[in-house]
Structure formats: C-alpha cells, structure tokens
C-alpha cells in the first residue's frame, strides 16, 4: 500500500463516518424498533443495519478488492473470522446500541482498517456529542483536530478505570464481572461505565480516565479505538498482559505500562471465545 | 447568621431574585472549575482514599458563601467543605442554600468531564430552586418548583419506560471502602445486571440525577451521598416528571444520605424491591 493509497482510504473512512453519524443523529430521538441477538441485553435496531449496509456499499464501491467485516453481517451469517493480509475494513455501525435505544449520548460509529493484520487507520465518530476521534499508524491520534495524549499516571491507586457489564447474562460470567468491579473499586480511585467500548478506548486516549478493561467484546468494537489509544501513548494488550489478539474478544487499555500491569495482576480473566 | 422566624413566606419576586442569584453564582463557580480543570491539582483525602478534596473545592465554596451571605444575610448556608467532620445538620423553615462546590471531585482530579457545581435552595424544608452547572460539558440544568426543569433552556422530560428490564440504571461506587458496605453495593450491582437492561456510572451524583431528568437513563440510586449532592438534582428530576424517593420506597428524607430517582413509579418500585438497602447514617 502506498502512502497515497492509505491517504485515500483515510479520506473515505472519514466521509463514511460522517454519513453514518448523520443517520444515527437523525434516528436518535425517534422511537426505535428493537430486536435482541445473543441475550435480552444484546440489542440491534434497523439503524444498525441501515448504517452497515450504507458503509458496506460505499467501501465496496470504491475498493472492490478490499475485505469487509461488519457486526450486523456477522450476526446474520454467524461466521467465524480469519484475518488475512488484505486491506480489511472492520466496522461497528452503532457501538452502544443500548445507549442508542435508551437515549443515552455515548453512541458511536467505529471503523478500523487493517493491512497485513495490523490496524493502520482508526475512526470513531460519536455524532450526538460531535466528537470525531481519528488515528493513522505512526501519525498520532486526534479529537476534532486536537492532538491526544493519554494520562501519565503510573499508580493504580490514583487511576480511574472504565469497565462494562457487557451483554452476556451467563451466570458465571456475570459473577466474575461483578467480582472484577469489586476488585477495581478496592484497588483504584474509582470505576466508570459509559456503555460503548469504542468511546471508552477514546476516553483513555484523551486522558479522560486511565484504563479500560472488557471481556466479551468483538473486534469491530475495539479495532479503531485501540489504534487511537496507542497513538495517544496508551498501551493496548490482552488483559493477561500478553500481546493483544484481535480475535480473542477481550482487551486491556491503560495510560501506562505500570497501570496495565497493576490491572492484569488483580483481575479475574474471562475466556469469552473468539470472533 | 441571624435566624429568622419559622414558616418563611417568600414572594414570587423574591424567589425570582434568588433564582437569578443562583444562576450568577453557578456561572462564577463554573468559571473557576473550567480554569482549574486542565491544571495539576493538589489533592487531599477526607473520609477515605477515594474521598477527595482540592483547593478548588474550598475556593469555590468560600466564594459562593460570601456572595450569598452578602445578598441574603439572614439566609442559612450548608456547604460540603464547610461542614466539619461529624457535624450534623438540621433543616429549618428558613431559606437554606445547599451547595456542593464540585460534585465529581475525583473526575475533576482525573480530567474526566463529568464535573459540576450544585446549588439547591430549600424554603420551609422544601426544595424550591435547583441549579446544576457542568462547565466542561457546558450543560446548565435548572428548575424552580412548579415551573418545570430545563437543560440549556430546553424543557426536560424523563423517560416513560415502566419495565425495569428495559431500563438503564445509573449507579456509583461511592467513596466508602468499608468491606461490608462494598459487599452490599456489589450485591446490588449484580441484581441490576440480571434485572435491568444495563448499568452506567459517571462519577457525579448530581449529574446522574440530571441525566434521569433528561431521559438519558431511567434510574439512579446511591447510598452514602450527602444532601448537597442531590438537593438540586432532585428538584430538576421531579420537575421533569421523575420520582425521587428513599430507596426503600418511602418518602425521601433529605438528611438520610441515600436517594432513589426513577423515570416512573413502576421502575422506582421495581428497584426498591430488588435492592439491598444500606444505612449510611445521617448528614
């Protein structure tokens, strides 16, 4: 891929994000028809599907040889994904669908592009708050054009950590997650929960919080946000401390290696399968 | 401060003046918060390692108290930072200005934007004016008793959801690190994950209640907060159609350090029945 190719892909990504944002914004205050997927807390709406369809056709129209992984197409096909070296556009049409349905503002469109199995472009657009987070590999991360820098905190006791309940209602999973929340409250300055993985990663990138941990999310939830966070100086790993596996459905993001290590050591690590 | 006779009667004009003063005070407090937000902060702790206070909290409270006392020398004042450890408050009929100079001090220290100034005014032990100003997010929530509540001038309406299974509930970890209290709070967290659509946590009680008022979430509860955290937000929520109660389902007692706010009676009732109710003492 030449620099020109990447620049062109980046421009299309931004344009597609703005268009998706408009659809989300228009639908946000209206009544929504809601279906469920894996559990009563795993929601999907016609807006999720409309956004994904629009994005899919925009991308294939411009880059017919590229690959596409989308949350809603995957939900229908039930397929397992394999990453190849080809340029792959990975999208979550609405991250934070529960927020979307319940009129909570932390809703975002997430688009990450991988080449040679590495994320090279990341765009997360939160249209209700009009916050456009972007990153290109090696070129820094930005929020509405302002360069982002993660916190410099190294002491877990001074850190505020973001975590989510997630959509699983499996008894053992919920038990472990509540245990982790308890552990986090006793070892850190506090926990926060916003309802969108992509936005959570962007918050760590922006220094609004010092860590984010979640088990059970999908590649499309975090691929863009993870690049934005690492380009802002944060670390992004598997919760155990190993390298992040993009298909392993879990992530730890921290403002510093020390906070990351502190978190890895105290948490119960859940296996949520693979994408 | 001179205490006036009980059962205060205030005219509409007087209430309007007090409301305008409250807005002015909130604006000034907001400016101080905004200026200090991105700077390094000197942090002290109060009741636990998670109960923070900064010089900004103290500066704002001092400034606000002097502004109010100057205009209304006969009114009473209850502020978070001027309340001494273990000092108990008593509510009288006198106009009483109740302020939290920075609600969400942990957020303030850690550069998280959910930070606000909260000012509630009670007369005859009822909240008549509520102002919550979040200067980093530029959101001004206001309410006057019987006149509705507003966000940046837009009228607020709480959600109409009645089924807890469709509700997203806001909660806080809180500042206590007592083992038994945390155990009960985790039991509540677990109950909500299994009975509600989801949970959110923002780090400011006042803003969480305002979020329920604005329809951004359908319920909020907390054990262990203080009168200054929820007096203003409580009025903003009820004026938007939400219910504000003691978590057990009884009437709210402003000094009992706990609150349940829900978009509807039905959601409130479901929450009351589900939660373990924690006694956190009194203000």
Contact A41 B197 (CB under 8 A): yes
Same domain, B177 and B211: yes
Q: Residue A74: pLDDT above 90? A: no
Question: Where are the domains positioned within chain A?
Answer: 3-147, 156-266
Can you tell me whether residue A135 is helix, strand or coil?
strand
Among B125, B155, B185, which residue terminates a domain? Answer: B155
Q: Residue B93's domain is classified under what CATH number?
A: 3.30.540.10
Those of residues 143-172 in B touching chain A at CB distance below 8 A are 159, 161, 165-168
The answer to whether position B87 is within a domain reads: yes
CATH number for region A156-266: 3.40.190.80
Q: What string of H, E and C letters represents the secondary structure of chain B? A: CCCCCCCCCCCHHHHHHHHHHHHHHHHHHHHHHHHHHCCCCCEEECCCCCCEEEHHHHHHHHHHHHHHHHHCCCCEEEECCCCCCCCCCCCCCCCEEEEEEEECHHHHHCCCCCCEEEEEEEECCEEEEEEEEECCCCEEEEEECCCCEEECCEECCCCCCCCHHHCEEECCCCCCCCHHHHHHHHHHHHHHHHHCCEEEECCCHHHHHHHHHCCCCCEEEEECCCHHHHHHHHHHHHHCCCEEECCCCCCCCCCCCEEEEECCHHHHHHHHHHCCCCCCCCC
**pLDDT, average across residues A258-270:** 97
CB contacts, 8 Å: A193 with chain B: 199-201
Give residue B51's pLDDT.
72
Distance (Å) from the alpha carbon of B49 to chain A's nearest alpha carbon: 8
pLDDT tens column, A24-45: 999 998 877 777 777 766 776 8
Confidence of residue B19 (pLDDT cuts 50, 70, 90): very high
pLDDT tens column, B43-65: 777 777 767 777 888 899 999 99
Same domain, B172 and B99: no
Q: Pick the catalytic residue from B80, B172, B239, B283.
A: B80
Domain count, chain B: 2
Same domain, B113 and B182: no
> B198 pairs with which residues across the strands?
B168
The answer to whether position B138 is within a domain reads: yes
pLDDT tens column, A111-139: 999 999 999 999 999 999 999 999 999 99
Among B109, B128, B155, which residue terminates a domain? Answer: B155
Does B87 count as an annotated binding residue? no
Same domain, B215 and B251: yes
Contact A209 B193 (CB under 8 A): no
A268 touches chain B (CB under 8 A): no
Same domain, B203 and B241: yes
Q: Residue B249: pLDDT above 60? A: yes
The answer to whether position B282 is within a domain reads: no
Q: Which domain holds residue B44?
A: 3-155
Same domain, B134 and B207: no
Same domain, B66 and B124: yes
The answer to whether position B283 is within a domain reads: no
Same domain, B7 and B134: yes
Same domain, B84 and B24: yes
Same domain, B31 and B108: yes
A210 touches chain B (CB under 8 A): yes
Which region among A16-25, A142-151, B80-89, B141-150 has the lowest average model confidence (pLDDT)?
B80-89
Does B103 count as an annotated binding residue? yes
B198 Ramachandran zone, left/alpha/beta (phi>0; psi -120 to 50): left
Among B155, B183, B214, which residue terminates a domain? Answer: B155
The answer to whether position B23 is within a domain reads: yes
The answer to whether position B249 is within a domain reads: yes
Contact B182 A181 (CB under 8 A): no
Which region among A108-117, A259-268, B88-97, B242-251 has the lowest average model confidence (pLDDT)?
B88-97
Domain A3-147 of CATH type 3.10.20.600: no
Distance (Å) from the alpha carbon of B245 to chain A's nearest alpha carbon: 22
Give residue B7's pLDDT.
54
Across chain B, mean pLDDT equals 92
**pLDDT, average across residues B28-47:** 86
Same domain, B141 and B12: yes
Whether B104 contacts B211, CB under 8 Å: no
A141 touches chain B (CB under 8 A): no
Contact A41 B167 (CB under 8 A): no
Give residue B205's pLDDT.
96
Q: Residue B5: pLDDT above 70? A: no
Give residue A166's pLDDT.
81
The answer to whether position B281 is within a domain reads: no
Contact B189 A157 (CB under 8 A): no
The answer to whether position B124 is within a domain reads: yes
Same domain, B29 and B117: yes
ipTM: 0.93
Q: How far apart are CA A10 and CA B198, in angstroms?
A: 34
| Alpha-carbon torsion angle A60, A63, A68, A73, nearest 10 | 0
């Amino acid at each position: 891929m030449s620099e020109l190719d990447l620049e062109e892909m980046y421009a299309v990504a931004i344009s597609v994000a703005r268009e998706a944002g408009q659809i989300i914004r228009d639908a946000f205050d209206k009544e929504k028809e809601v279906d469920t997927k894996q559990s009563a807390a795993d929601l999907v709406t016609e807006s999720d599907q409309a956004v994904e369809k629009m994005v899919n056709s925009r991308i294939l129209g411009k880059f017919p040889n590229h690959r596409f992984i989308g949350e809603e197409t995957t939900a229908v096909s039930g397929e397992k994904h394999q990453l190849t070296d080809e340029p792959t556009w990975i999208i979550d049409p609405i991250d934070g669908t529960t927020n979307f349905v319940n009129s909570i503002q932390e809703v975002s469109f997430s688009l990450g592009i991988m080449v040679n199995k590495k994320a090279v472009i990341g765009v997360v657009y939160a249209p209700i708050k009009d916050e456009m987070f972007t990153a290109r590999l090696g070129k820094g991360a930005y929020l509405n054009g302002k360069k982002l820098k993660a916190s410099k905190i190294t002491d877990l006791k001074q850190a505020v950590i973001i975590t989510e309940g997630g959509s699983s209602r499996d008894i053992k999973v919920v038990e472990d997650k509540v245990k982790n929340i308890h552990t986090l409250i006793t070892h850190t300055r506090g926990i926060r929960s916003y309802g969108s993985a992509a936005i959570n990663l962007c918050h760590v990138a922006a220094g609004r919080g010092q860590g984010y941990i979640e088990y059970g999310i999908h590649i499309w939830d975090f691929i863009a946000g993870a690049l934005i966070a690492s380009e802002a100086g944060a670390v992004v790993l598997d919760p155990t401390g190993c390298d992040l596996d993009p298909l392993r459905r879990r992530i730890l993001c921290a403002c510093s290696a020390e906070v990351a290590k502190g978190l890895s050591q105290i948490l119960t690590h859940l296996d949520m399968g693979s994408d | 401060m001179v205490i006036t006779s009980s059962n205060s009667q205030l005219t509409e004009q007087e209430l309007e003046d007090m409301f305008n003063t409250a807005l002015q005070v909130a604006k000034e407090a907001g400016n101080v918060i905004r200026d200090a937000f991105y700077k390094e902060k000197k942090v002290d702790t109060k009741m636990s390692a998670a109960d923070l206070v900064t010089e900004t909290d103290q500066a704002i409270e001092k400034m606000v108290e002097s502004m109010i006392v100057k205009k209304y020398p006969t009114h009473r004042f209850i502020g978070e930072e001027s309340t001494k450890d273990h000092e108990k408050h008593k509510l009288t009929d006198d106009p009483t200005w109740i302020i939290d100079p920075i609600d969400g001090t942990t957020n303030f220290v850690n550069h998280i934007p959910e930070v606000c100034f909260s000012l509630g005014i009670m007369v005859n032990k009822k909240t008549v004016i509520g102002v919550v100003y979040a200067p980093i997010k530029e959101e001004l929530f206001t309410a006057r008793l019987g006149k509705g509540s507003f966000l940046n001038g837009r009228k607020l309406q709480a959600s109409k959801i009645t089924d807890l299974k469709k509700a997203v509930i806001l909660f806080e970890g809180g500042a206590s690190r007592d083992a038994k209290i945390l155990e009960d709070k985790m039991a509540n967290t677990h109950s909500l994950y299994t009975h509600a659509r989801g949970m959110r946590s923002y780090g400011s009680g006042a803003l969480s209640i305002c979020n329920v008022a604005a329809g951004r979430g359908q319920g909020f509860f907390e054990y262990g907060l203080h009168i200054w955290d929820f007096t203003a937000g409580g009025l903003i929520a009820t004026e938007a159609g939400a219910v504000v109660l003691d978590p057990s389902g009884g009437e709210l007692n402003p000094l009992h350090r706990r609150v349940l706010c829900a978009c509807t009676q039905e959601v409130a009732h479901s929450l009351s029945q589900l939660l373990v109710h924690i006694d956190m003492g009194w203000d």
